[in-house]
Amino acid sequence: MSNLRILSPIFSLVITLLLLTLSSGCSESNNTEKDTRSADSHLLNSEKYIKQGQYRAAMLEVRNAIKKAPNAKTIGALAEIYNELGQSRAAQSLLEDSVETHPKLNLLLAETYLSLGKFYSAEQALQKITAPHNNTTKLQLLEAKIHIGRGRITEGLVQLEAIQTQYPDDSSVQLAYFIAIFNSATPQETEEALVKLTSKFPEDADILYTEAKIRFLQNNYAATEDSLMKALHLSPQTDVLTPLRSGILNLLSKTLTQQGRYADAVPFQKLLKEANPDLEDVQARLENAIATIQKGDIKAGEELLEKLHQDFPNIETTEALLGLVNLELGDANKAASLFQGSVDPETAAPRLSAAAAMAELKLDRQQEALSILEQALASNPNSLQLHSLYGLTALNQPSLQRKAAQSLEKAIALGTPDLRIYQFLANYYYTVEQDKQKSVGILNKASKTFSNSDEKLKIFGNYLRYGFNEEATRYANNLKVSDKNSEAGWLMTAAMDIKNGRPNRASVQLEKAIDINPNSEKTWFLIGSNEMQLQNWNKAIHAFKQAINLNIDSSDYLIALLKAEIGNNSNWSTITRSFSALAKDEAHRVKLDGFLADYAIRTEQFSHAESLINNIKNSAASTTEQITFLEVHKITTESNYHLKSQNQNAAIQLLESGRIQHPESIPIAINLGNLYLQQGSISKAEKIQDEIGRMNDPTIFLLFTADILIKKSLPEEAYSELESGWQANKDPRLANAVFQLSTKLKTKLSDVFFKEWASVDTKNFRPVLIQAMNAQTNNSDDAIALYEKTLQLNDRSIPALNNLAWLYQEKNKLERADTLATRAVELAPESAAILDTAGYIKYRLGDKGSITLLEKAFALAPGEKEIEEHLNKAKASFN
Q: What is the DSSP string of 146-171?
A: HHHHTT-HHHHHHHHHHHHHH-TT-H
- End-to-end Cα separation, the chain, in angstroms: 75
| pLDDT attached to residue 879 | 72
Judge whether residue 782 has pLDDT over 90. Answer: no
C-alpha span between 816 and 798 (Å, rounded): 15
Answer whether 360's CB lies under 8 Å from 369's CB.
Answer: yes
Q: What are phi and psi of 183, to 5 degrees?
A: -70, -30
Q: pLDDT tens for residues 187-233?
A: 898 899 999 999 999 999 999 999 999 999 999 999 999 999 999 99
For residues 206 and 201, give the distance between their C-alpha atoms in angstroms, rounded to a whole number: 10
Query: What pLDDT was estimated at residue 723?
Result: 95
Q: From residue 483, give the alpha-carbon distance in Å to each of 182, 456, 459, 461, 505.
A: 47, 11, 16, 18, 21
Q: Cα(5)–Cα(221) distance, rounded to whole angstroms?
A: 37
The residue with greater pLDDT, 151 or 639, is 639
Domain 748-878: which topology?
Answer: 1.25.40
Distance CA 853, CA 769 (A): 26
Q: How far is CA 644 from the centre of its chain?
A: 45
Would you state the pLDDT for residue 5? 30
Q: Are 102 and 73 in contact (CB under 8 A)?
A: no
Q: How many helices (H) and strands (E) does the chain have?
A: 49, 0
Model confidence at 14, pLDDT cuts 50, 70, 90, reads very low
Alpha-carbon distance values, 132 to 125, 128, 220, 630 (Å): 15, 12, 48, 80
- Find the DSSP H helices in 620-731: 624-644, 648-661, 666-679, 682-693, 698-711, 715-728
| Most confident residue range from 666-670, 756-760, 787-791 | 666-670
Phi, psi of 875, deg, nearest 5 = -65, -40
Cβ atoms 385, 353 nearer than 8 A: no
pLDDT of residue 545: 95
Please state, in angstroms and rounded to a whole number, the distance separating the CA atoms of residues 91 and 147: 23
pTM of the model: 0.68
Q: At what angle do helices 332-342 and 316-328 cross, to 10 degrees?
A: 160
Count other C-beta atoms under 10 Å from residue 760's C-beta.
16
How would residue 135 be classed by pLDDT, with cut points 50, 70 and 90? low
Q: What integer pLDDT is reported at residue 472 of this predicted model? A: 94
Q: Which pLDDT does position 700 carry in this prediction?
A: 95
Distance CA 144, CA 154 (A): 10
pLDDT computed for residue 304 by the predictor: 81
**Cα 761 to Cα 739: distance, rounded to the nearest angstrom:** 13
**DSSP string for 808-857:** HHHTT-HHHHHHHHHHHHHH-TT-HHHHHHHHHHHHHTT-TTHHHHHHHH
- Return the pLDDT at 32: 40
Per-residue pLDDT band for 734 (boundaries 50, 70, 90) equals very high
What length does the chain have?
879
Confirm if 510 and 530 have CB atoms less than 8 A apart.
yes
Q: How far is CA 599 from CA 228, 605, 662, in A?
A: 79, 8, 22
Q: Which CATH class is domain 18-134?
A: mainly alpha
Distance CA 449, CA 385 (A): 18
Q: How far apart are alpha carbons 302 and 357 in whole angstroms?
A: 21
For the purposes of burial, counting CB atoms within 10 Å of the CB of 79, is it exposed (0-12), middle (13-18) or buried (19 or more)?
buried
pLDDT on residue 33: 43
Which 8-state DSSP code applies to residue 10?
G
Contacts of 476 (CB under 8 A, 6+ apart): 460, 489, 492, 493, 496
Contacts of residue 569, defined as CB under 8 A and 6 or more positions apart, other chains included, come to none
Mean pLDDT for the stretch of residues 854-875: 93
For range 404-417, the mean pLDDT? 96
> What pLDDT is recorded for position 328?
84
- Average pLDDT value for residue range 779-789: 89
User: What rounded mean pLDDT belongs to the chain?
Assistant: 88
- The pLDDT score that the predictor gives to residue 843 is 94
Residue 583 to residue 593: CA distance in whole angstroms: 10
The residue-averaged pLDDT of 266-291 equals 77
pLDDT class of 31 with cuts at 50, 70, 90 = very low
Average pLDDT (794-822) is 93
Taking alpha carbons only, the member of 732, 679, 724 closest to residue 705 is: 724
% of the chain exceeding 70 in pLDDT: 94
Question: What is the per-residue pLDDT for 518?
Answer: 95
C-alpha to C-alpha distance for 337 and 340, rounded to whole angstroms: 5
Cα 592 to Cα 745: distance, rounded to the nearest angstrom: 48
How many C-beta atoms surround the C-beta of residue 200 within 10 A?
13
Residue 24 has pLDDT above 50, yes or no: no
Q: Which of 393, 382, 387, 329 is nearest to 358 (CA)?
A: 393
Beta pairing partners, 17: 315
51-102: per-residue pLDDT in tens? Answer: 898 989 989 999 999 999 999 999 999 999 988 888 888 898 899 999 999 9
Indicate the pLDDT class of residue 279, thresholds 50, 70 and 90: low
Please check the confidence at residue 569 and state whether its pLDDT lies above 90: yes
- The pLDDT value recorded for residue 308 is 73
The model's confidence at residue 277, banded by pLDDT at 50, 70 and 90, is: low
Q: What are phi and psi of 331, to 5 degrees?
A: -95, 80
Q: What residues contact 370, with CB distance under 8 A and at least 6 apart?
A: 357, 390, 393, 394, 397, 400
- Collect contacts of 313-317 with beta carbons under 8 A, ≥24 apart: 314/17, 314/18, 314/19, 314/20, 315/15, 315/16, 315/17, 315/18, 315/282, 316/16, 316/18, 316/341, 316/342, 317/10, 317/13, 317/14, 317/15, 317/16, 317/286, 317/342
> Helix (H, G, I), strand (E, B), or coil: what is residue 757?
helix
pLDDT recorded at residue 131: 62
Arithmetic mean of pLDDT, 411-427: 95
Chain CA centroid to CA 751, Å: 24
Distance between CA atoms of 667 and 280, rounded to whole angstroms? Answer: 59
CB 357 within 8 A of CB 393: yes
Segments making up each domain of the chain, as ranges: 18-134, 748-878
- Are 18-134 and 748-878 equal in CATH topology? yes
